[in-house]
Chains A and B, each alone.
Chain A
Amino acid sequence: MKRRAIIAATMLALYAVLMAVAWVIGTNKAAESTNAQLDYAVIDLHDTVAGAIDTMLGHVARTAVRHIGSAKPMSLERMAAGAKELDIDEVNTVDRSGRIIASNDPHCLNVMMAGDPVMEPFMKLTNGVTATVSQPFRPHARNPAMRAKYLAAAFPGGDGFVQVGLDERRLSRMLPSILGYIFDEWLLGRTGFFLCADADTGKLISNPSRHRNEARTLAEAGYDAATAARYEVVADGRHYGTTFVQRLFGEKCYCRAFLFGGHRFVAALPEREFYSARDAYGIVFGTLLFVVLAAFAWFIDRVSSDSARLRAFYAAEEARRAKDLLLAETIQTSALPSAPPESPYFRLSAAMTPARSVGGDFYDHFPLDATHYAFLVADVSGKGITAALYMMTAKTLIKDALLAFRTPAAALEAVNSELCHNNPANMFLTAWVGVLNMETGDVSFANAGHNPPAAFRKGEWAYVSAKSGPALALMGGISYEPHQITLEEGDAIFLYTDGVTEALDPSKVLFGEERLANALAAVKPPDPSSLCNVVRAAVTAFEAGEAQADDITVLALRRLAAPRIFSRAFPPSIDSIAVATEFLDEKLGENGSPTSLLPVMNVMLDEVCSNIVKHSGASMFEVDVEFLPNPPSVKLTFVDDGVAYNPLSHKDPDTSLSAEERPIGGLGILMVKKMATSISYIRKHGRNFLSVVKDFA
């Protein structure tokens, strides 16, 4: 709300300033416009009146030329009668030499025009071409108080001319007929008007139609001659006076006035008119300005609130992204097998370090059956939650396919086909999949566009450069080539994603395969957990603080030994214990067990089997004898389908009691627990599994 108040206040202030400026400019423009209108009006008025007088005098002069006929002397009487008939003040007949040879004024007879500075212009009429010559009103030669205008028309062939003269005081008779039209028809603005009055008496000879009969004199109309005198001029074709203010017919007007032909002409434009124009424009401008500023204010408000909303949106988006990343990372890491497998035949260790923006790396490992173990690493294209979800799908598909098809090549073909079938996001992934035969050490594998793993064989590391198929989900109908390498006991294989080899140091140098090989070679013996830790540490050291760009995934597997396991099942009788003991002794003897171990092993077998036979109600029991290489040890597993019974859950009997106080019972399992290196119990599939490990040492 505070933002809106600031915008509104700013806009109102801007509006006030702009309107004030507009008012000043508008007032000036109105004054200029008024002045210009009055200027045009008075020039037009003067020229029109003067032109009308010229036309009239021309007509009179040409009529006189026709009547007189030629430049010849005529009596004063005839000339006077002619002047009266033509309603003119003076008529002179001038011969070719410029002498007045006939006139209605005896003083004019024989006056020589040629050579007279005032009259000389008329002599052009004797050139045979010029038809009429006119002069403006000017003081009369013999009577300076009088002003007269002369116009002359030539006789045919320039043989002399007739000059007619008009006393301006006679103009009063002619003007109404001229001005009536002008004053009625002409427009001066919308409400402007013209006035004309006798210069001496102030008697109006015309009234503007709007104020007809309201006044008989200029003074009655409100014209203050004393004030106006400073601004009026005698019009001469160049000067028409300057604008001044008068109150006419009760209204303040801007006026121009000039004197012409003994009359005072006034053009008046009511102030109201141009102010109303200015005000009308002002209203329009003000409204438009208001609309524009309001729109501008609305726009600014929108922009600023948009930016506030955008900031909020970005913050929310950032939070959402962070949540997405966390979710993706959770999906990614929770999808990984949680614990390395516990197997006496191989060690496996794996780790994935997600990049800050969560990639799509994953690894997986799981048993296919008792002798085959699958392991793989994969890298899904893209990052974030989409990649994480795609990873889940791919991981499930690969596992299902491996369990169904059992060989990496067939599994990858099936997975690829399935992924290509429905891949709207155009994701893809690379994968290296291997299956270890724990008995033979054979690793069958197939590669879908993934980095070649490194293998430790015959005491040295080398990359497994077998031909790779295309990445998964790129195109359907692909078959993947099956490959195989063999890991002898102690050999290892190291799988990784490109997050390792493409890690960058601060100068953008790649970690690369050579550095990886060197890091691997430094680990002796190639224990899987050490391999993973050393490589990850080497990458971290190489990056030297540079942000990790991609997920880093490592998986190492080392083959320990071929499995040696022997099983036999027995019916639940006391006699079976003896048979089982023989079986155990035989296997111990065959597999290099120290003879010193025999009694201990026999006691343990006796104790467990006698418990099963006597108390479990089992329909059979099984004894598994398993020889473990690391450390050399033997593991006995007793399986029975009797009642669930965990011998380890019982409290040990008190062995400090005297012979009389001793209950007999619980001693057997106590002995087993004390003799064994480790012992464990599990109930699954309706059977009891009790495992006892005894180290050879």
Chain B
Amino acid sequence: MTIRSQIDGNKATLSPEGRIDTITSPELEEAIAKIPEGVTSLTLDLSHVDYVSSAGLRVLLGAQKRMGGAGGTMTVTNVCEAVRNVFDITGFSSILTIA
């Protein structure tokens, strides 16, 4: 899985490509862990993500909690229909900030 990471001061943007599933979600989790302290605005650009499985949701939930705990925000952008569907089913649409 390829994850492009762009950090600009207190803003960070992660752009994973492909599927966020059982196999790839540990990589995303690792990428999020690498984001330095002090970043208060995290953007996940899912424009190249085909789908997200529950393993990926766990990672997203973990990221959301971390940013929220540090007084920051996390925004999910460019959600395709399949992913939107997963968010809707699981109630994540109301947890995440989806732009």
Contact = CB atoms under 8 A, between A and B. Distances in A.
Interface of A: 574-575, 577-578, 581, 598-600, 602-603, 606-607, 609-610, 613, 655-660, 662, 664, 667-668, 670-671, 674-675
A599 B82 CA distance: 6
Q: Is the interface of A mostly helix, strand, loop or mixed?
A: helix
A668 B95 contact: no
Interface of B: 19, 21-23, 50-55, 57-58, 61, 64-65, 68, 80, 82-83, 85-86, 89-92, 94-95
- Most-contacted residue by chain A among B65, B83, B92, B95 (CB, 10 A): B95
B90 A602 contact: no
B13 to A, nearest CB: 20
Nearest to B26: A574
Contact of B50 (A602, A607, A609, A668): A602
A575 B95 CA distance: 31
Given A659-B65, A664-B58, A577 B89 contact: no
B21 A602 contact: yes
Q: Is the interface of B mostly helix, strand, loop or mixed?
A: helix
Contacts of A598: 50
B94 A606 contact: no
The list of the 5 closest CB pairs from A to B, nearest first, reads: A655-B91, A668-B54, A599-B82, A599-B51, A610-B22
8 contacts: A600-B85, A603-B21, A603-B53, A606-B19, A662-B95, A667-B90, A668-B55, A670-B90
- Most-contacted residue by chain B among A599, A600, A668, A674 (CB, 10 A): A599
B89 A671 contact: yes
Contacts of A578: 23
Contacts of A658: 95
A316 B22 CA distance: 75
Contact of B95 (A602, A606, A659): A659
A603 B91 contact: no
A660 B62 CA distance: 9
B82 A600 contact: yes
Nearest to B69: A660
Given A655-B90, A670-B90, A671-B89, A577 B58 contact: no
Contacts of A655: 89-92
Given A602-B50, A613-B22, 17 more contacts: A577-B23, A598-B50, A599-B51, A599-B83, A603-B21, A606-B19, A606-B53, A606-B55, A609-B22, A610-B55, A655-B91, A657-B91, A658-B95, A659-B95, A662-B61, A668-B54, A671-B53
B20 to A, nearest CB: 10
A667 B65 CA distance: 17
Nearest to B60: A659
Contacts of A660: 65, 68
Contacts of B53: 602-603, 606-607, 610, 668, 671
A675 B90 CA distance: 11
Contacts of B23: 574-575, 577-578
B84 to A, nearest CB: 11
A655 to B, nearest CB: 3
B37 to A, nearest CB: 20
Contacts of B21: 577, 581, 602-603, 606, 610
A675 B50 CA distance: 16
B22 A574 contact: yes
B24 to A, nearest CB: 9
B86 A603 contact: yes
